[in-house]
C-alpha cells in the first residue's frame, strides 16, 4: 500500500508540473501582450515577446524559464510512467514528446530572435532551425500518440485528442506559410495553443485516469 501511495504522489507531482507549465506559458503571453506597447498578436510571432531586443523580455523571461523546467520534468515523468507499460508506438511518442520539449527549452534559450521578425542573423537562423525541429517532432509524436492509442478502448480519447491536435497544428502551419504578414501570428497561435491544450490532456490523464498509469497486467 505504501508503494502505491508513493507512486501516486509522484504521478500527482508530474501532472501538476505539466498543468503549471502550460499556465505559465499562457501567462508569459498575456503579460507580454499587456506590457509590450504596440505589440500586435495577429501580426507578430509569440517569439517576438522574448526576442533579444524586446522591451518586455526581462519581465517575462522568468515565466518561460520556469515553464521550460516544469514541462521537461513533466515529459520526463511521462517517460518513467509509460516506458515498458505501453505499445511501441505510444512509447516512441513519449520519447519524441520529451525530446521535442527539451530541444524547445534549450534551443530557444540559446537562440532567441535577435529582434522583431526575421533579420537573417545567425541567432535568427538557429531560431528557425529549432522551430523546424520542434514542429517535426511535435507532429511525429502526435501521429504516434494517435496510432498507439487508437485501438485502446479505454484510452482512445488520447488518440482522438492527438489526431485533432495534429490536424490543428497542420492547419496552423499552412496558414503561417500562406497568410499575409499582417496575419502571421494567427497560424502560429493555432499550432502552439492546440499543442499546449494537448499537454493539458496528457496531464489530466496522468492525474485522474488510474488505468492510464497501470501496466497491462495490473
Predicted confidence (pLDDT) at residue 2 exceeds the cutoff of 50: no
Pairwise CA distance, residues 202 & 166, whole Å? 15
Pairwise CA distance, residues 3 & 26, whole Å? 35
Domain hosting 85: range is: 2-213
User: Residue 4: its pLDDT value, please?
Assistant: 42
Cβ–Cβ under 8 Å, residues 186 and 129: no
Surface-to-core class of residue 27, CB atoms within 10 Å of its CB (0-12 exposed, 13-18 middle, 19+ buried): middle
Does some domain include residue 188?
yes
Surface-to-core class of residue 218, CB atoms within 10 Å of its CB (0-12 exposed, 13-18 middle, 19+ buried): exposed
Does some domain include residue 218?
no
Instruction: State the chain's mean pLDDT as an integer.
Output: 90
Pairwise CA distance, residues 202 & 218, whole Å? 21
Mean pLDDT of 156-172: 96
Pairwise CA distance, residues 11 & 115, whole Å? 40
Helix (H, G, I), strand (E, B) or coil at 77: helix
**pLDDT tens across 15-59, in order?**
999 999 999 999 999 999 999 999 999 999 999 999 998 999 999
Does some domain include residue 51?
yes
Residue 6: band (very low, low, confident or very high) from pLDDT cuts 50, 70, 90: very low
Does some domain include residue 121?
yes
Residue 119: band (very low, low, confident or very high) from pLDDT cuts 50, 70, 90: low
- Number of folded domains in the chain? 1
Pairwise CA distance, residues 16 & 70, whole Å? 9
Mean pLDDT of 127-145: 96
Does some domain include residue 96?
yes
Angle between helices 156-178 and 122-149 (to 10 degrees): 150
Predicted confidence (pLDDT) at residue 1 exceeds the cutoff of 60: no
188-202 exposure pattern, b = at least 16 Cβ within 10 A, e = fewer? bbbbbbbbbebbbbb
In 3D, which of 194, 99, 82 has the Cα closest to residue 137? 99
Helical H segments across the chain, by residue range:
2-35, 57-82, 88-110, 122-149, 156-178, 184-208
Does some domain include residue 149?
yes
Residue 77: band (very low, low, confident or very high) from pLDDT cuts 50, 70, 90: very high
Does some domain include residue 7?
yes
Q: What is the largest CA-CA distance in the chain?
A: 59
Weakest-pLDDT range from 11-20, 112-121, 146-155, 172-181: 112-121
User: Residue 3: its pLDDT value, please?
Assistant: 40
Does some domain include residue 10?
yes
Predicted confidence (pLDDT) at residue 7 exceeds the cutoff of 70: no
Amino acid at each position: 500500500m505504501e508503494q502505491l501511495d508513493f507512486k501516486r504522489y509522484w504521478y500527482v507531482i508530474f501532472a501538476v508540473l505539466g498543468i503549471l507549465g502550460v499556465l505559465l506559458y499562457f501567462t508569459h503571453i498575456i503579460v507580454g501582450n499587456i506590457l509590450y506597447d504596440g505589440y500586435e498578436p495577429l501580426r507578430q510571432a509569440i517569439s517576438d515577446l522574448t526576442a533579444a531586443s524586446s522591451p518586455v523580455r526581462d519581465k517575462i523571461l522568468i515565466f518561460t524559464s520556469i515553464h521550460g523546467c516544469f514541462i521537461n520534468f513533466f515529459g520526463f515523468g511521462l517517460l518513467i510512467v509509460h516506458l515498458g507499460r505501453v505499445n511501441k508506438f505510444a512509447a516512441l511518442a513519449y520519447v519524441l514528446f520529451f525530446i521535442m520539449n527539451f530541444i524547445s527549452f534549450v534551443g530557444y534559450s540559446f537562440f532567441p530572435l535577435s529582434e522583431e521578425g526575421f533579420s537573417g542573423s545567425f541567432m535568427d537562423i538557429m531560431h528557425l532551425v529549432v522551430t523546424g525541429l520542434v514542429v517535426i517532432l511535435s507532429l511525429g509524436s502526435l501521429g504516434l500518440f494517435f496510432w498507439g492509442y487508437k485501438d485502446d478502448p479505454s484510452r482512445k480519447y488520447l488518440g482522438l485528442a492527438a489526431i485533432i491536435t495534429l490536424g490543428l497544428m497542420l492547419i496552423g502551419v499552412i496558414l503561417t506559410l500562406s497568410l499575409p504578414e499582417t496575419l502571421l501570428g494567427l497560424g502560429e497561435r493555432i499550432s502552439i495553443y492546440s499543442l499546449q491544450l494537448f499537454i493539458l490532456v496528457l496531464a489530466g490523464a496522468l492525474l485522474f485516469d488510474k488505468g492510464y498509469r497501470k501496466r497491462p497486467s495490473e
